[in-house]
Amino acid sequence: MKKIRLILTAAAIATLALGACTAKNENARTTEDEVAATQESVPAGVIDLSGVDKDADGIYILENGLTIQPGMQCDRPVVIDFNAPWCGPCRRFAPVFEEAAKKYGDRIHFVSVNTDNVRDMMQNFGLPSGIPTVLVIRTDGTYTSRTGLGDIYPAEKFEKLIKDNTGI
């Protein structure tokens, strides 16, 4: 009898966990139209990276304190890599992001955001919680995003995403 209860309890917990993952994934499928609708309701501002530290590759490292919001404009396009140090796909994508920053850094701002430290920015843009996520913000404040390695890895795919969305 105890074994049956244990099995039923384990099955119930597994069902709840699976349901939570499914709901999370369904919520993560935000369309660009939904994101655009959200972005229209937020007042525009200006992205000011002047006080943000850069690493050796010229990538701005965004820590707590500065938040980029939907609708903000900038003097040049901004490409944001949402990542975490413990994320294997993020580590795999990092060299691609670094090379693009070296190649296009004179025309595009590259920003790295550790999602463990800056949690709300992805939510502000209505992005799924999966990482790596790349957000490309055009100078007029409109943007596009990609989650996972499928559209951003290898380097050729990432460069195509940049070129298609920034006009460089």
Neighbouring C-beta atoms of residue 66, cutoff 10 Å = 16
Residue of 129, 136, 126, 111 whose CA lies nearest to 42: 126
Catalytic residue among 59, 62, 68, 90: 90
74 is catalytic: no
- Contact at 8 Å (CB) between 158 and 133? no
Catalytic residue among 68, 87, 136, 161: 87
Matching residue, tokens 């709300």 = 120
Distance between CA 150 and CA 160 in Å, rounded? Answer: 13
90 is catalytic: yes
Q: What angle do CA 12, 13, 19 make, to 5 degrees?
A: 90
Distance between CA 61 and CA 110 in Å, rounded? Answer: 9
Q: Which residues are catalytic?
A: 87, 90
